[in-house]
Amino acid sequence: MAKARINKRVLDGLKVGDQVWSTEVRGFGARHRKTGVYFLLKRMVAGTRRTIAIGRYGENPDDMSIAEARAIADRLIGKIAQGIDPTDSKRLLESSCTLEELSKSFILRCEQKRLKEQTIKSYERVLDLYLVPELGRAKALSVTARQISNLHTKISNMPRPEKGIKKGGPYIANRMLAVVSSMFSWAVSSGTFPPGTRSPAEHVERNAELKKQRFLAPDEMVRLGKSLALLETTGWDLDDDRKVLPAPHPVAAIRLLMLTGCRLREILQLKWSEVNSDIGALILDDSKTGAKTVPLSDDALLILEDLKKFKWSKFVFPSSTDDERPRVDLKRPWAAVTEHADLADLRIHDLRHTFASFGVSQNISLHAVGGLLGHAQSSTTHRYAHLALDPQRQVANTISGPIASALKVNANEVER
């Protein structure tokens, strides 16, 4: 019987029929079957030696890591020491898994799958602020739809975010439901919960969410351009003897957002190594939808070329306090320029919507616009479909004009 420290090298080296037992945790091991490598736990239970299947080893969503398997084995060993007979290992696991324990395993799995840092942080925030404080001690499979619905209502009725303090509201309540659904889906696929287990959030009614689609009109574009030019060069005076100082670097970032349709983080975290002037494109190592290439217009290339005189960091827009880190946001310059241009309701993400709207209204296909924006799904670009009707309406007016004139016959002129 082979014994070794259970690690990736050992498990990857197993052949069909091989099994290995841990030299660190007594009774913990793995066996290679035709369908993959499975973790096992062999213990004495009620005077009988039993082998308990823990789960399949691997990196797929329905597999588990060595750390997860060892954590489950430790819990099972603890229960067995208490005299609990694991006739059904999954039932034993279910009875011992609280919602808080499940959430920790879920976050660990997200980190192992290397999800976006922002995604993991948003999951943790929902779990730590809302779900765990309310229902963390409850057995995960005992949580009911009524409990989740009540929590959803509670979060929905909390004050909305104000002055940087995030409290709650309808949108955050919906995010809580999404996290619960994702967590239970993972629990089923990983074998933590039995097949067919449904999320308690499945049938909870979501709050209505209205997609904000704000586009800059031509006259608004002119106002924004004038304010950007002032902020880039001279700034302006305020009523209380204060002055908005010139900020050419942030203005360049805003202009690139307007000319590329990129997301804010894609521009602020842009590295000079990702700028390829020879082919006229940004070769992004990472983005919300993974690595992608962003074609650059001549105007965008000129902005980047001009920024090379500020090139003291690997980032195109480095932090003002640390050259080794990218700029975090554009809140202050954006607030100043939108107030000056009388566009207080304009969000910085609306520049991306404006880029798309200009493209579609120029009779560029939704598919082509979606490619420029880096949309992973065509349904995301479809929100701009109504704008594609403008050129078609012009054609329709040209065709229907003579027809309408012919039809507009004075009733008095019609022979009876």
Asked whether the beta carbons of 59 and 19 are under 8 A apart, the reply is no
3-class SS of residue 282: strand
DSSP string, 231-273: HHHT-EE-TTS-EE---HHHHHHHHHHHHH---HHHHHT-BGG
Q: Give backbone dihedrals phi and psi of 262, rounded to 5 degrees, phi first.
A: -70, 160
Task: State whether the Cα torsion 87-88-91-96 is positive or negative.
Answer: positive
pTM: 0.54
- What integer is the mean pLDDT of 320-343? 89
The first and second tokens of residue 9, run together, are: 């090298």
Structure confidence at residue 414 as a pLDDT band (50, 70, 90)? very low
Q: Are strands 2-4 and 19-22 parallel, antiparallel or unpaired?
A: parallel
Q: What distance separates the 2 farthest-apart alpha carbons in the chain?
A: 109
For residue 245, CA distances in Å to 50, 173, 249, 337 come to 74, 40, 12, 11
Q: Give backbone dihedrals phi and psi of 165, rounded to 5 degrees, phi first.
A: -95, 110
Asked whether the beta carbons of 82 and 96 are under 8 A apart, the reply is no
- What integer is the mean pLDDT of 76-83? 75
Task: Note the pLDDT tens digit of each residue in 344-390.
Answer: 888 888 888 777 766 655 655 545 555 555 545 555 545 554 444 44
Mean pLDDT of the residues in the chain: 79
pLDDT tops 50 at residue 143: yes
Q: Which helix (H) or strand (E) holds 118?
A: helix 117-126
Asked whether the beta carbons of 231 and 246 are under 8 A apart, the reply is yes
- What integer is the mean pLDDT of 36-65? 79
Q: Which residue has the higher pLDDT, 111 or 161?
A: 111
